[in-house]
Amino acid sequence: MKISRRELLKTTALCGIASAFPGCGRLADDFLGEGIPETCIPSSDSEISPGFHLLCRAGFGPRPGDLERLQALGNEAWVEAQLAPESINDTACELRAERFESLQFSPGDAYEFRKPVLRDELTRHALLRAVYSRRQLLEVMVEFWTDHLNIDLEKGDCVYLKPSDDREVVRKHALGNFHDMIRASATSPAMLVYLDGKANKVRRNSKDRPNENYARELMELHTMGVHNGYTQQDVVEAARCLSGWTFDPKRTFALNQNESFFRPEWHDDGPKVVLGETIASGGGPADLDALVRIVCSHPSTAHFIATKLCRHFVSQTPPAPLVERVSAEFSRTTGDIKSLLRVILKSEEFYASRGQLLKRPFKFMVSALRATAANTEAKNDILEPLHRMGHGLFQYPTPDGYPETELPWMGTLLWRWNFALALAGNRQPGAQVQFPELLKALGGKGKSPSPAIWFAHCIGRAPSLSETEALALLPSAMGAQNSHKGAEPGEILGLILASPAFQRC
């Protein structure tokens, strides 16, 4: 029977402090629905397990067995392994992701596909990798940089060009060097189209001025941050450095060239002064390299990127000492992203922030699919709830990307509850929870585990007194005819996934 609105609201008001959840056995160890599950037992600590916290922040939340494997390695060793994703066998995920052939094509060749196909394959690929990849930190950083260098598929030809941008800019540099990523983004065909650099030209002996859109966003959003030391004249000078870089899909057929290219006759080759540094005349395409070096090396960039990373991984109001340490590391390593993550993920501030960040809809959905070891092919049926939550992938219309702040997401909680209850009840099209295997992993011998074990598995701690009392109300909320046998596993799991505790990490 359906739960009354009153009981649902009462149960989803779960909150409090209780104990850590140390680990659980393997379930679907190859992520393809096979493997031998073992028993999970919660402990009695009063806070979220540090290991569970690490998996939720540096990943999209644990699948059954992940916490046990992390504890065998140790937190620092797990971080180091994640920072070397090429060393992690991800064959099972690759088998699911390799079906999307359009994602392997060059920018020009992608025009052979219809827009709906490209949009479908790009979004499905992102969701599948987040759910199934063992390289969890890489996928978290791919999401982070995708927003940082946001490109809306719906503008112009971006849908044809974003697959190569995702591959050659975001994924290639997500754990690499920040300077290299910005340089790659600056000449990415997708970015040239999205921020109007494609037509950035200055004809000699004319009063033409180059388009300033990308130059402004380069400083305001991608490197230095708003009002952090640059002027309107710096934007103008940066646009002059960028003039001449373009992309033309017609070259695919005429010259068999699929990438962006430099047109000398469009370039303003005179001297330029950016942020007080002079770029001599005659540099041609090298003006772009000089511009990237100047803006990426500016102290404001180090502080801006450090602050943004700390907000993503630690707190919406990140501790100033941590920001300063990350900023110093950015300057010391010339933007080595792995080094920045080491500082953050091994800090006391990181572990002191357990359970404080609201999951954005994408992370909420992926963490629910991972916690339940659900099987999905990421088709439209499973993407539709994500759209209802306001987080359609690659569809944010402005260059700043989907917000990290909480307020914009608070109006979509009802859609989260609906998804949680449908997923756990195996009523969500496009996803299937294999309860026999999941029950065996959590309870042993196929028996249904207690609500406390379900809660610990999903939240990383045992329920508080108020949460235990709310869970105890569940059988009566299901209806008198069911009260003699207690709540079904899917009913308990659904309400835990819909609870406030699961909305945070």
Residue 29 reports pLDDT greater than 90: no
Question: Percent of the chain at pLDDT above 90?
Answer: 72
Give the residue ranges of DSSP H helices in 63-220: 66-73, 75-82, 91-97, 115-132, 136-148, 158-165, 172-173, 178-186, 189-194, 213-217
SS3 319: coil
Structure tokens at 166: 């995702």
Identify the weakest region by mean pLDDT among 38-52, 282-296, 395-409.
Answer: 38-52
pLDDT digits (tens, 9 = 90+) for 71-80: 999 999 999 9
Q: Is the dihedral of CA 423, 426, 432, 437 positive or negative?
A: positive
Region 336-355: what's the mean pLDDT? 98
Amino acid at 375: N
Q: Write down the pLDDT at residue 206.
A: 63
Residue 11 reports pLDDT greater than 60: no
Question: Percent of the chain at pLDDT above 70?
Answer: 85
Region 407-425: what's the mean pLDDT? 95
SS3 122: helix
> Across the chain, what does the average pLDDT equal?
87
Region 434-443: what's the mean pLDDT? 83
Give the Å distances, CA to CA, from 72 to 25, 65, 392, 495: 12, 11, 37, 31
Structure-model confidence comparison of residues 259 and 414, the more confident one: 414
Q: Write down the pLDDT at residue 39.
A: 38
Q: Write down the pLDDT at residue 205.
A: 58
pLDDT digits (tens, 9 = 90+) for 215-233: 999 999 999 999 899 999 9
* pLDDT tier for residue 200 given thresholds of 50, 70 and 90: confident
SS3 annotation, 421-460: HHHHCCCCCCEECCHHHHHHHHHCCCCCCCHHHHHHHHHC
As a whole number of Å, the CA-based R_g of the chain is 25
Q: Write down the pLDDT at residue 471.
A: 85
Distance CA 257, CA 109 (A): 10
Q: Write down the pLDDT at residue 255.
A: 56
Identify the weakest region by mean pLDDT among 64-73, 119-128, 346-355, 442-451.
Answer: 442-451
* Burial group, residue 386, by CB count within 10 angstroms (0-12, 13-18, 19+): buried
Give the Å distances, CA to CA, from 458 to 66, 153, 176, 383, 434: 12, 34, 32, 22, 16
- Report the first-to-last Cα separation within the chain, whole angstroms: 31
Q: Write down the pLDDT at residue 257.
A: 62
* Burial group, residue 231, by CB count within 10 angstroms (0-12, 13-18, 19+): exposed
Structure-model confidence comparison of residues 451 and 425, the more confident one: 425
Lookup result for tokens 């943004």: 308
Residue 58 reports pLDDT greater than 60: yes
* pLDDT tier for residue 469 given thresholds of 50, 70 and 90: confident
pTM over 0.85: yes
pLDDT digits (tens, 9 = 90+) for 275-290: 999 999 999 999 999 9
Residue 12 reports pLDDT greater than 80: no
Specify the length of the chain in residues.
505
Q: Write down the pLDDT at residue 493.
A: 94
Identify the weakest region by mean pLDDT among 18-32, 318-332, 357-371.
Answer: 18-32
Region 340-354: what's the mean pLDDT? 98
Are 57 and 350 spatial neighbours (Cβ–Cβ below 8 Å)? Answer: yes
Q: Write down the pLDDT at residue 327.
A: 98
Structure-model confidence comparison of residues 253 and 404, the more confident one: 404
Q: Which of 295, 298, 296, 322 is nearest to 308 (CA)?
A: 322
Q: Write down the pLDDT at residue 234.
A: 97
Residue 26 reports pLDDT greater than 50: no
Q: Write down the pLDDT at residue 480.
A: 40
Q: Write down the pLDDT at residue 281.
A: 96
Q: Write down the pLDDT at residue 31.
A: 41
* Burial group, residue 51, by CB count within 10 angstroms (0-12, 13-18, 19+): buried
Region 103-124: what's the mean pLDDT? 92
* pLDDT tier for residue 106 given thresholds of 50, 70 and 90: confident
* pLDDT tier for residue 484 given thresholds of 50, 70 and 90: very low
pLDDT digits (tens, 9 = 90+) for 242-283: 999 999 888 765 554 668 999 999 999 999 999 999 999 999
Q: Write down the pLDDT at residue 87.
A: 96
Q: Write down the pLDDT at residue 276.
A: 97
Are 149 and 169 spatial neighbours (Cβ–Cβ below 8 Å)? Answer: yes
Which secondary-structure segment (H or E) carries 245? Answer: strand 245-246
Identify the weakest region by mean pLDDT among 128-142, 191-205, 353-367, 456-470.
Answer: 191-205
